[in-house]
Structure 1
């Protein structure tokens, strides 16, 4: 089989490349992915996941995601819609079926892997190999290296009698539980806590392990649309002024919070990092209701009624449901300095 470009992975990065190249070149493409459907890690996402920024910011250049609706209820009220994981998968599926395959220039090979050493594509089901003659370049769309709670390699030990689940299983296992422990400080953990609160779980019955708190971007300051011009561009202009005025990160964070550009969940605790997660003020207000926060480093081991962390241990209810949200969004590429676009 001959192709101009071999694309490894069928997630957002790969499809964004494909989408632009289909318009700007007459090249041909083969896409390989071990998963069965387009969408990359979204295929393994938990059922209540949503984008944390407006839908308009996500997807590919040729087709908008969502309908530019303003939410009229919930913690995102008054702001642009946030696509659900189901909507994102449907979006990528439609692009493949309605745009890419009908072009006649795209060959999509699900349940396959690229064997670089011998230049073949291998079907992971049958083992059948197809030799590829790549004319231009191999494009690796897996560079972000996103860890997924469902599939990552857990970094702490769990006693066999402890119920420890990824957030994917939360809707199936939460009913009838009286206590919950959420492990992680990122967006997935925030989503899981908000899901519990939305389903009327008393905040006192939630223990939240946050090894490091983070500063968060106020979603009001990250809105598209002319109606948010002052909030968005005024916020950007004010950030530039603040950056010129402050002398260190502590002053920067304090000033950005005062301007309503950055948010934090606990106003009595100063975060030491910023990973650009985005939240609404309504979400922050809800999350702040959880007061049983454990800040003793990363979890090392969980036993019935006991959790061991880097800096000590804490007692937990013996029947607690543990929700593991400790996967790191970009852990695999933090020290990767290879260029995205290599020579040629």
Structure 2
């Protein structure tokens, strides 16, 4: 048995499970510091001057898991982050809307495209036209329209590439990639999505959350804080959506505005009914989110003479707490070394 190989595979698995889900230029720690510098340069230190958001204080005692309660919680996140909510449509039927959009795309594909292209496509409709129309009439027409157009264009591109490919090996590879999409439910693996509805001719944007988040108010808060990062960073064209670290920067935007405990706690969660299985959420991962929370606390400490880690230990998951304290210790040590070299003690 190759023990070194097994250890390396285990380490790679742990990194995939707990580490950032995207490549962060310069490494996670340096990327977090550089990105916080950018956020402070763009938004100032005011977000750091507000206290960190504690789940025990932020989530109201009357939260009952209803859509009404979840919407109120979303608006509460908007108010804290100072993001105008008057043009944001919050909803909690993301799976249905995505299924309707894909089904609408399939119906359009069958009606508008050539028989050769239709023969290639394996995109499946799970809702009838009448069911799609009913959901649109219930208030989701704008979201369905934008997503359906996106699904249609992507499928035409996929199917056309397969149809035109003459190399058999390459064609087989394109088919395998397409089948991975065709066999997966629309939007599976996602808890929330942000949509710019102006692409479909409707003013404003939409934040759609999965119905599965309703039972967990911390999940509602974490997902909403992330999507509101899209509202600001993407909606106001502050960053390029295509940059590789765009989603990670959106996570960090939420940490910068005080929601680091929510994001770090939600980064990894157990799958109900399976003892050892885990699923990951967010783009910084548990390690990246913990490091970001540490950097946030340290930046606040440089502004205010307060505890480095002001949140109550019970507010933070054990694994997150251990990682955050370790990173804080490293930041303090580095700062002390710098202050000694500069002749000014760290306060």
Length-normalised TM-score, structure 1: 0.23
Instruction: Give the structure with the higher percent strand.
Output: 1
Instruction: Give the structure with the higher percent helix.
Output: 2
Length-normalised TM-score, structure 2: 0.23
